[in-house]
Amino acid sequence: MTLTADPGGARLAALLADVRDSARRFVATLDGLGDPQARGASALPGWNRAQVVTHVARSADAYRWLLTSARTGAEPGPRADAAALDRALREGAGRGAAELVDDLRCSLDRFLDEAASMPAERWPTPVTALAGWRHPAWFTLHRARRELETHHVDLNLGHGTADWPADYVAWALDATAATLAARGFPVARLAATDLGRAWPLGPTGPAVTAPGHVLLAWLAGRGPAPAADPDHPLPTPPVWPLPPVPGWG
């Protein structure tokens, strides 16, 4: 099955369970978080942990908005734009830990409840990402899982890229490799030593071999480039995440 193929009911149920697990683990990492820790530096330059948590909560709201619009066929009220999301980040920077975690938990619960209530026939409904590209409603589950797994690392609370689930890493590398190949990224091949997987990208450039999470961390801007020939440094990946290729038009 290709990345853009409808996954079907059984796979959707499994994917929703994966998102629930990602959400559970993210929130569990915040257990016992105090106000000083909440205002401490995250792994994202210029963001504190409160901003990361706020961003994930508002992203869950955005994904719920997309699912509700797909389920009902109508927009469920005004959609938060980039300016509103930026304002939410600024306001969230100084919130207390208890308020942050409660907001996050409620936002995730609302999103997951909306996903659980989606009729099977509405999952293929096209929706539009804030960046302008379109995808079927079911791809929102992939986006939500990627959001949770990526920003879990960004919390800078002991959860690293080696803690990413192997199936998530494989999916994210599938998606990223396809887009990099379409964009002519100057790497010939990616190979994940722990996954037994390889992704040809182009006719020229270096072959990059490393554990899957190391490859993904590099491509996602969450880790250094894998060891390479010092005389031929690896290229800088484009800003991640990238829209899926070939996509849905």
29's CB contacts (< 8 A; 6+ apart) are 152, 155, 157, 158, 159
Q: What is the DSSP string of 69-111?
A: HHHHSS--SPPP-HHHHHHHHHHHTT--HHHHHHHHHHHHHHH
**What does the pLDDT read at residue 26?**
98
**The pTM is what?**
0.95
Look at residues 241, 215, 80, 68 and name the one whose alpha carbon lies nearest to residue 148.
Answer: 241
Ranges in the chain annotated CATH 1.20.120.450: 8-159
- DSSP conformational letter for 191: E
d(CA 15, CA 1) in angstroms, rounded, equals 15
pLDDT at 1: 46
**Which residues make Cβ contacts (< 8 Å) with residue 184, sequence separation at least 6?**
202
Q: Are the CB atoms for 57 and 107 separated by under 8 Å?
A: yes
CA-CA-CA-CA torsion sign (123, 170, 233, 222): positive
* Dist CA 242 CA 107 (whole Å): 24
Could you say which of 3.20.20.480, 3.40.50.1820, 3.40.50.300, 1.20.120.450 is the CATH number of the domain covering 8-159?
A: 1.20.120.450
- DSSP tag of 137: T
Confidence (pLDDT) at 68: 98
Structure tokens at 171: 């999916």
- For the domain made up of 163-249, the CATH class stated in words is alpha beta
Q: How far apart are CA 65 and CA 78, in angstroms?
A: 9
Q: What is the dihedral sign for C-alpha 52, 49, 114, 240?
A: positive
Element (H, E) at 134: strand 134-136
Q: Determine contact, residues 187/206, Cβ cutoff 8 Å.
A: yes
Q: Can you list the residues of the chain whose pLDDT is less than 50?
A: 1
Q: Which of 10, 4, 15, 230 is nearest to 144 (CA)?
A: 15
Supply the pLDDT for residue 241.
94
- Encoding tokens for residue 112? 């997951």
User: What pLDDT score was predicted for residue 2?
Assistant: 58
Distance separating alpha carbons of residues 223 and 237, to the nearest angstrom: 11
Burial label, 194 (beta-carbon count in 10 A; 0-12, 13-18, 19+):
middle
Instruction: Locate CATH 3.30.1050.20 in the chain.
Output: 163-249
